[in-house]
Amino acid sequence: MKKSLLILCAIVLATQYSCRKTLNVNTNPNEPADVTVTELLPAAEISLSHQYGNYFQLVGGLWAQYWTQSPSASQYRPFEQYQPGPSSANTAWQELYAGTLTDLRQIVKKAGTAENTKNYTAVAKILQGYTLQLLTDNFGDIPFTDALKGEDGVTSPRYDRQQDIYPAIIALVREGRDLIDVDALGPGTDDVIFHGDMYAWGQFANTLLLRMNLRMAYVDPTTAMAGVAEAQANSYGFLEATAQIAYSSSPGNAYPFYSEISNLGFTQNVVASATAVNAMLANEDVRIFSFYTGTVGLQQGYYGTPSPGSYSLPSALTGANANDPSSATAPVKLLSSYESLFLQAEAAARAGAASAAMDLYNAAIGANFLEYELTADDAETYILDVAGYPLAGTMEEQIEAIITQKWFAMTGNQNIEAWTEWRRTGYPDIFTISRASRIGNQFPMRLPYPETELTRNLNFPGQKNITDRVWWDVQ
């Protein structure tokens, strides 16, 4: 209870600070208020969490085919039509740049490498890398070298190529990881992710590096595996506990997507997708009752069906159930314990260590079952009956098994990462084109740049087609 209260206080503090930044339109943005790193860190973390757990959670939920538009509502039909307007990304883009990344940059400037503040710099660099990967994975080329230089007069930042951004953000995360001093003073309760546990931050950074390098596995396998080996050799190891931000039922402190639901009058806009529900039913996967309220899914884009209200809903554990107030307390999972294990399994499979990959794969499934309050016996039965690892298969067959089970594990909780991994690998291969598609027999492969870039950035390179693949997407 004491920890929960401290976290809540930190969230309230950060929310109040964020509101002041947003509402004080007479403040010169090039002369930020003299706030401390202990105020900037929770503001940055919650800014990131709010976008990850709202806009990106929605897009991933629909395009990873966990959810689909409810027939009795209409808010997200453009996403099912594969034609979201550019304005749909305005808030997420602006908040990640003007909120999250700006606050993190200020932390680095203020904290530096002094003995009592360098851990703040370490965390800020790690989260900068995380945020920039989120942006470039979903939009492609983005402002990087020229970004956040308004105080230097750069108001129209040029875009960097994604293949140039990736080495830079990998280097940024390594810098943060290697700056960590577990014995030095650093964040405490103002860190709403790990509450000042710097060893956990080292593991987070190392796992993030594993994710970043594996993202390049098909487009640049040599560089990718060299980066994987570097992360594997690091003494921190990999993440063992889920990196998440907890929310509460207190007004203003609810799970971000549930807050959006409340802002829309508690309208249930999303229902269970038949893609995920039917796959779970075929597998007799007991997690279906953790992720959904029942076993009836709707096909993608079938919101014109004549029987609204007869479909299962996302469960409160996903934070997307308008009818269940406990949705407010769902956590935003930035990087989960089971994702960490699936990443390690893929790395082992690509290195030819099939037995080690199988053990990590089984552990990942088990961790997901346990995190959703199921038993080790449930996980073991599922592995034996359904998800046995193809030990004698080809490397690609093993990777298909790993990514497919990762997709099941991320249902409703790491939606955007699941969609990103589907784009990278093509797994699972069960997705169906939305009936409402306005781009023909194609899937969306990236997010449209925000309208604000079209209208305000003189160096904007032009809008991309939603079917254009990002750099690492070559499968």
8 Å CB contact between 125 and 179:
yes
pLDDT number for residue 28: 43
Separation of alpha carbons 45 and 3, rounded Å: 17
pTM: 0.93
- Residue 247 structure tokens: 């929310």
Q: Does 3.40.190.10 match the CATH number of domain 1-21+35-66+85-196+446-466?
A: no
Res. 114 pLDDT band, cuts 50 70 90: confident
Residue 308 confidence class, pLDDT cut points 50, 70, 90: low
- Count other C-beta atoms under 10 Å from residue 389's C-beta: 23
Per-domain residue ranges for the chain?
1-21+35-66+85-196+446-466
Which helix (H) or strand (E) covers residue 104, if one does?
helix 102-111
pLDDT digits (tens, 9 = 90+) for 209-266: 999 999 999 999 999 999 999 999 999 999 999 999 999 998 789 999 999 999 999 9
- Kindly list the distances between the CA atom of residue 118 and the CA atoms of 45, 99, 121, 239, in Å, as whole numbers in the listed order: 17, 21, 5, 21
Q: CA 372, CA 208: separation in Å to the nearest integer?
A: 23
* pLDDT reading at 9 higher than 80: no
More confident residue, 115 or 471: 471
321-373 per-position pLDDT tens digit: 999 999 999 999 999 999 999 999 999 999 999 999 999 999 999 999 999 99
Dihedral sign from CA coordinates of 331, 279, 55, 121: positive
> How would DSSP label each residue in 181-233?
-TTS---STT-TTTTT-HHHHHHHHHHHHHHHHHHTTTT-HHHHHHHHHHHHH
Q: What's the length of the chain?
A: 475
- pLDDT tens-place string over residues 10-68: 444 444 333 333 333 333 444 445 799 999 999 999 999 999 999 999 999 999 999 99
At residue 309, the pLDDT reads: 60
pLDDT in tens, 411-462: 999 999 999 999 999 999 999 999 999 999 999 999 999 999 999 999 999 9
Lowest mean pLDDT across 102-111, 232-241, 307-316, 387-396: 307-316
Q: If DSSP codes are grouped into helix, strand and coil, which group holds residue 270?
A: strand
Task: Answer whether 81's CB lies under 8 Å from 437's CB.
Answer: yes
Look at residue 33 in the predicted model and tell me its pLDDT.
Answer: 54
Q: What are the backbone angles phi and psi of residue 313, rounded to the nearest 5°?
A: -115, 160
